[in-house]
Chain A
Amino acid sequence: MYEAASVVWVISLPLLGALLATVWRQHAATIGWVSSVLTAGCAIWLLWVVQHAGVQELALGGWEIGLGISLYADGLAAVMVLMSSLVVLGCSMYARQYFRTQRQHELFWPLWLLLATALNALFLAGDLFNVYVTLELLGISASALTALGAKRAALRAALRYLVVGLLGSMLYLMAITLLYAAYGTLNAVQIAEALQVNPLGWAALLLMLAGLALKMALFPLHFWLPPAHSNAPAPVSAALSALVVKAAFYLVVRLWFEVFAPLTTPLLANVLGALGAMAVLWGSWSALRAERLKLLAAYSSVAQLGYLVMFFPLLMVLEGEARQWLFGAMVLFALSHAFAKSALFLAAGILLRYAGHDRIRELSGTTQFLPLTTFVIALAGIALVGLPPSGAFLGKWYLLDAAFQTGQWWWVLVLVAGSLLATAYVFRLLGHAFGHLPAVKRPFVAATQEIPALALALMATFGLGLGAMSLWSWLAHTGTGAGL
């Protein structure tokens, strides 16, 4: 029981923080970062618990499973919680100096901690209704945070974001209504056991996929993402691109490989994979054409999510050890993108402040006046292109490997084209950085913001590129009824 507390703490700590930050407004920032630090600590503890004491299942309030709120923590969930908590921690440290007025702090921190709560609760949700609640909470707090950009464009993007989010959750809600009517439960494990192959199951699966594809901005439903992600304040953009879309992706993985495992077919997986391939090509191309750094980063997210979906058709054909490796590689790719993209957005925020704009054409000579920020952008770029050492490199390696093993060489072509485009958009940016300007005396210009961004970027590259071996053993901790 003592171990199970870790599951509760990673959700209740940020929630508590959000409440306290609402009450003690003048200390919002302090409460915010302290609770982020504590949450990250608890996330490490949770991972340790899952690794040593196995999968944690928990029914809150003593209600038996199937009735109350149930929480479920296996290796995958714990890894996602850790990812989310670390990115939130990095962004929190950054946000302390990023927001300049007390009013901004008062608005930001409660919503921010609520977002962190929603993310962790979503990763740990054990039944499909909980998932719905956390999805709504996530969508609302995310669009409210986007609106903090306070410009006209930001407000418009936030409103659109809210509507799209609601539409997505609505589709999801319809699906779980169908399931509840048929099976009388919403517990993920119980549904997975009871599920039959019939039109109702199909309808539920397709509705859920459609709703979540909208939320994760899968091509061609990505239209809302670039304006929303590029107009929000830097730490918010970072969390939106790194975490919020990942949450939808995480749910797709859970539903696809666990709950709906009997219903999924290679054909459907190939359709998803094809959409992913389109996302890679279209997203990368749009990133190359983008005129502003934040827009580039947002389009790059569309492409990166495309790669994640491309793992699906290959996971459907592989078996045994090779499949587990590929699955781990997919998770690693998601983690690598989370750290790299958040670092990139944080760096873009610093650039915006010191250069006054983020128009790529005019970003000449940043190596001179913002050396460390440029370095962060370069590291994040390495992870986005998938160059060694980075988690994305390993992810792409296994994707290529699986494509060759199963003879599906067309994914190789997509991957090659996507990587070339990614190289082009990253180095179009860095090429401008080496312009003529007198050198500054200090390597650190905005240390309090640069160091968190650097830490995230290092995590995506050297951390995950060279030290990710344990990930596969963490992911091996799966519970009963799980299809993996």
Chain B
Amino acid sequence: MNELLNVLTDALGENLPLWIVLSSFSVGLVIFFVQEGSHRLRTTLNLLAAVVKLLLVGVLIWGVYHGQVYEVRWVIAPNLELLLHADALSMLFVTLSALLWLVTTVYAIGYLEHSPHRSRFFGFFSLCVSATVGLALAGNLVTFVMFYEFLTLATYPLVAHKGSHEARKAARLYLAYTFTGGLLLLVAVVWLKSIAGPLTFVQGGILDSLPAETHSALRWIFLLMIVGLGVKAALVPLHGWLPKSMVAPAPVSALLHAVAVVKAGAFGIVRVVYDVYGVEFAAFLGVLVPLGVVAAFTIVYGSTLALFQDSLKKRLAYSTVSQVSYIILGTAILGPLATVGGIVHLVHQGIMKITLFFAAGNYAETLGIHRVSQMNGVGKRMPLTTLAFTLGALGMIGIPPMAGFISKWYLGLGALEAGVLLWVMPVLIASSLLNAAYFLPILYRAWFLPADPWPDEHIKAQRWETHGMLLWPPVITASLALLAGLLASAPFSPLEWAQLITAREYK
């Protein structure tokens, strides 16, 4: 086995990050040309690409673990280069994306069976993942910005996919938000580059040696960057596009909310704070406290609005608004424990939220349930889906031993360590209570209330409660969320990896 991996790493060489990006990009381009009716060919291509990408990521982890350095450079203009490289933080995000892409692909194949324009859908779906992986592997801000914009472009057709008036309106709103954000980010990056030179991501940051007269410009740049990235991370008041994009098909919502788009924003903020500014220098500039306040406000605001949504997907959307800001809160608190909490939540929130969206999609696809008020007794009809949903919801609330508990535990410890417990703890408690208030009634309805007639039952219960390709993805991701919590201290767990990253971020 080891020998095989060694041979593989040698054969793929330094360009491995490029192959990882191209594996889905090239297949995406091919899928556009697959005829609508060739279901089998398209499925094969999709799964093949997803599996190959995951294997390549595996080889990458192996290589990085054994001290191999992966760097792909491509000069696109004087003084401007694209750089893909693999450091600990990018590995975390790449692994998450590749893994969840495979699961979501299986789910999407099941979900979109018989619906029109599948080649177009899967083509953009693949491009979207390429963009996500690309920005995860970006080695400098220039590369990051390019993939960030590319991600917007690739997701737009997915939001507009249904082609209805509503879908196109949502897509337009999505675009208005994300392009304005992208443009502000671009301006900020060019400005920063004109002050600080090449913006390679370095653990611990690169700006602390700049002279004091640049500091006020650096604060403005930070603001612009946070606004630019905050649009995708759905920081309040930049979150308006997210609930509206719920018109997209369930796999898209799952991907947008759990992996690609919101995470791109959150990941970008983590990168900017830790690997560009450096968390200690950012604290010195005094920009972390406002960021923390915005994140805290977003957490409470998102949870509060979630409480009032009857539409299941909308409730989950506001829950996302709230949950993603945990990552940002962890980033904004100076201290290694909070950093661990923020970074590990990047993974934990992803697997929990995707589970919830898969389950919501299953209810809609199988029984026509779109609203919370229609969910009475669904636990008996769809036990496995509802079990997965329950695990995801409990994790979101932060009940041990689910993954969400680990995140919140470290955030709380971090707040204690940094001496900001006084305002962080109330936020965490309030949010947990609100989470409980909007998730527990759903669980109660689903498990304990007698069933009403289903609104629109498409798929009859046979051997399984629904189509197998719809059923297994949430079950798998729910198990992962459980395992990430139970085995948090095992080697290679997300928590251990987050601790490794954190150790390198503090000089």
Contact = CB atoms under 8 A, between A and B. Distances in A.
Contacts of A451: none
A434 B187 contact: no
A389 B77 CA distance: 12
B190 A325 contact: no
B160 interface: yes
Nearest to B118: A439
A465 B117 contact: no
Contact of B79 (A325, A412, A435): A325
Interface in A411-441: 412, 416, 419-420, 423, 427, 431-432, 434-436, 438-439, 441
B191 A404 contact: yes
Given A367-B120, A387-B149, A443-B33, A423 B80 contact: no
Interface of A is mostly: helix
Interface string A65-91: 000000000000000000000000000
Interface of B is mostly: helix
Given A387-B153, A439-B36, A431 B171 contact: yes
A387 B179 CA distance: 10
Contacts of B237: none
A479 B212 CA distance: 44
Contacts, number: 98
A400 B224 CA distance: 15
A404 B190 contact: yes
Interface in B133-166: 145-146, 149-150, 153, 156-157, 160-161, 163-164
Contact of B146 (A332, A375, A389): A389
A382 B152 CA distance: 12
A465 B33 CA distance: 24
A401 B163 contact: no
B491 interface: no
Contacts of A394: 76-77, 80
Interface stretch (A100-108, A263-271, A282-290, A466-474): A466-474
Interface string B174-196: 01000110011011001101110
Contacts of B422: none
Nearest to B33: A443
Interface in A356-393: 365, 367-368, 371, 375, 382, 387-389, 393
A468 B81 CA distance: 12
B116 A439 contact: yes
Contacts of B157: 367, 434
Contacts of B453: none
A443 B30 CA distance: 12
B35 A441 contact: yes
A249 interface: no
A410 interface: no
A397 interface: yes
Contact of A325 (B78, B116, B179): B78
A328 interface: yes
B194 A438 contact: no
Nearest to A404: B194
Contacts of A427: 156, 172, 175
Contacts of A375: 32
A177 interface: no
Contacts of A398: 77
Nearest to A473: B78
B163 A365 contact: yes
B150 A388 contact: yes
Contact of B160 (A393, A401, A431, A469): A431
A453 interface: no
Nearest to B171: A431
Given A400-B190, A416-B183, A434-B163, A328 B120 contact: no
A153 to B, nearest CB: 31
Contacts of B175: 423, 427
A175 B287 CA distance: 58
B139 to A, nearest CB: 16
B74 interface: yes
B183 A436 contact: no
B80 A420 contact: no
B11 interface: no
A197 B197 CA distance: 39
A325 B76 CA distance: 12
Contacts of B53: none
Contact of A436 (B77, B164, B194): B164
Given A404-B191, A431-B172, A469 B36 contact: no
Q: Looking at A375, A389, A412, A434, which has the most chain B CB atoms within 10 Å of its CB?
A: A434
Contact of A416 (B35, B116, B171, B187): B187
B35 to A, nearest CB: 7
A405 interface: yes
Given A388-B149, A389-B146, A400 B160 contact: no
Given A325-B78, A400-B187, A468-B77, A371 B120 contact: yes
Contact of B161 (A368, A393, A423, A434): A434
B75 interface: yes
A405 B194 contact: yes
A251 B77 CA distance: 25
A438 B180 contact: no
B168 interface: yes
B303 to A, nearest CB: 32
A157 interface: no
A457 to B, nearest CB: 14
A346 to B, nearest CB: 20
A280 interface: no
A443 B163 contact: no
Given A371-B120, A423-B179, A434-B161, A388 B191 contact: no
Given A368-B117, A431-B171, A388 B145 contact: yes
A373 to B, nearest CB: 13
B249 to A, nearest CB: 13
Contacts of B153: 382, 387
Contacts of A434: 157, 160-161, 163, 167-168, 171
Q: Which 4 A-B pairs have the closest CB atoms?
A: A388-B146, A404-B194, A400-B190, A434-B160
17 contacts: A324-B78, A325-B78, A328-B77, A388-B149, A388-B150, A393-B146, A394-B80, A400-B187, A401-B194, A420-B183, A423-B179, A434-B157, A434-B161, A435-B168, A443-B33, A468-B76, A469-B76
Interface of A: 321, 324-325, 328-329, 332, 365, 367-368, 371, 375, 382, 387-389, 393-394, 397-398, 400-401, 404-405, 412, 416, 419-420, 423, 427, 431-432, 434-436, 438-439, 441, 443, 465-469, 472
Given A371-B120, A423-B175, 7 more contacts: A321-B78, A324-B78, A325-B78, A401-B194, A423-B179, A436-B163, A468-B77
